[in-house]
Structure 1
C-alpha cells in the first residue's frame, strides 16, 4: 500500500499530495535518484525506503512488472517472487502451534520483542534487569536462552516428558526437528509454547509483581499441549505416532 504512494510520485499523478511532494521534497529532482534529508519525517523516510525496495521494478520511470500498471496485489506478488523465503518460516508458521505462540515466534525471529534492554535503547527510563531472575540485563538472548527461571521450566519439562529440550538457539532447534509431521509439529509447538509462557510470566512479574514457580508453568505448558492434541484428528495418525504421544505424556 505504501508502494502505491511511491508509484503516484513516479508517474506524477495529478493529485494535491503529489504536487505538494514535488514542491516541498523533490524540488525538481528525479524521484528515483532522490534521497531524503536526515531531518525528514519518519513517514516520508519510510516511503523512500519502499521506493528503494521497488526500484528494480521500474523501467524508464514506469512500473514494468504489470502490463496494466501498478496494483498493490501485483506488487505484493512481485516481492514474494524476488525475496527468498526466510529460514524460520516452517518453525513459526506451523499448523500445530497456537496462533498466539506463532505471533511470539514471529517477534522473536525479527528480534522485535520489547525486552527491558530494547526499551532502554529507545531512551525510556526503565530498569533493564531481567524481571524473572534479576541476575542479568534482559535481552532476548538472556530471556529465552540463559535466564535461570527459563532453564527451570525447561528442566521440569524434561523431567515430565523425558526429553532433552534445548537451552540455546531455540528457532534453529525448531528448524532442525526430525520425524513425521505430527512429531515435528508438536516438538515445535512445545518449544514455542514454552517461550510464550516465559514471556507471559515475565510480563506478570513486571506488571503485577507476581511470579509463579517454574514447576507450575511447566504444568500449564503441558496442559496446553494436551489440549492441542485433543483438538487434532488422531485417527489419521499412525500407531507409532500415537505411541510417541503416550511416551511424551501428551495423551492418556
Structure 2
C-alpha cells in the first residue's frame, strides 16, 4: 500500500507484473485491425478494463486499478513528514501499526517468557504503555511538551506548517529514542535518565532545523 494508506509504498510484484502486461494488451488493442489480433481479443481481451479507460492506459493506472482502493490513515503526515529522519519515521510507522517486537507481541508467539515492560517490569509492554504510559517514557514526552509548549499528538491545525513540521520531528525523534533506550536496557541492563534523553532530542532537533530552514523565519515561527 501507499504511505498515505499506511504502507511503505513498495509495489507488489505480482500486481505490477500484471499491470505491465496490460501495457502490451493496450498496444495490441491499438493494432486491432489485424486479423490475428481480432482472434486474440475474441479469446477474452475485448472487455478489458484498461482498454475501456477513456484516459488511456498506463502501467500506473493499471496497477492502481488492480490493487484496489485503500482509505488514507490520519497519521501519514506525522510519521512521514519530510523533516523527520527516515529511521525515526520507520520506527514511528511500526509503532502506529503496533508491529514492534515488544514483549507483549513476543509473548503472544511464545518467544518471550514474560510480557512485562523491559523498563519498569510492572505492566504489560504494549505499544501504548511503552510510548505513553511507562513512567520513563511519560517523563520524556512531558519534557518535550514543556519545551515546545504544545501537547504531543494534539491538534496542530492552528499551527504554521513550519511549527507542525518541528512538532512531527520532535515526536518521531522522541519515540525513536524511547525505543532505543528500551533496547539498550534489554541488552546492557542500563538506561539513560529521561532528562538526558530529552536533551539529546533537543540537540538533534536544533541541528535538523538549522540544516533545513533557509533564510529568515516569520516572527510567529521564531
CA-atom RMSD in angstroms: 3.0
Q: Out of 14, 18, 35, which is 1:2 matched to?
A: 14
Aligned length: 182
Q: Which residue of 1 aligns with 2:181?
A: 201
Instruction: Check whether the contact 1:101–1:196 (CA below 8 A) recurs between aligned residues.
Output: yes
CA–CA distance in structure 1, aligned partners of residues 190 and 113 of structure 2? 18
The aligned runs of 1:66-215 (5 Å cut-off) are 66-67=50-51, 73-78=60-65, 82-159=69-146, 161=147, 163-166=149-152, 170=153, 173=154, 176-215=156-195
Q: Any gaps of 5 or more consecutive residues in structure 1?
A: 8-59, 244-252
Whole-Å Cα distance in 2 between the matches of residues 208 and 117 of structure 1? 20
Determine the C-alpha separation between the residues in 2 that align with 1:79 and 1:104: 29
CA distance in 2, matches of 1:63, 1:130: 57
Q: Distance in 2 between matches of 1:231 and 1:80?
A: 38
CA distance in 2, matches of 1:162, 1:132: 26
2: CA distance between counterparts of 1:63 and 1:223?
60
Deviation at 1:236, TM superposition (A): 5.5
Partner deviation per Cα, 1:122-156 (whole Å, 9 max, x = no partner): 12133211111222110001001110000121233
CA–CA distance in 1 between the matches of 2:61 and 2:137?
44
2:211 to 225, 231, 235: 231
What is the CA-CA distance between 1:101 and the residue it aligns to?
Answer: 1.1
Structure 2: gaps spanning 5 or more residues: 1-12, 20-43
Cα 1:232–1:6, aligned 2, differ >3 Å: closer, same or farther? Answer: closer
**Per-residue Cα deviation, 1:23-71 (whole angstroms, up to 9, x for no partner):** xxxxxxxxxxxxxxxxxxxxxxxxxxxxxxxxxxxxx899944339x99
Counterpart contact for 2:15–2:67, Cα < 8 Å: no
Per the TM alignment, residue 202 of structure 1 is displaced from its structure 2 partner at its CA by 0.4
Alpha-carbon deviation of 1:203? 0.6
Given that residues 4 and 71 in structure 1 are in contact (C-alpha distance below 8 angstroms), is that contact kept between their aligned partners in structure 2?
A: no
CA distance in 1, matches of 2:130, 2:143: 17
Q: Separation in 1 of the partners of 2:160 and 2:142?
A: 25
SS in 1 for 2:116: coil
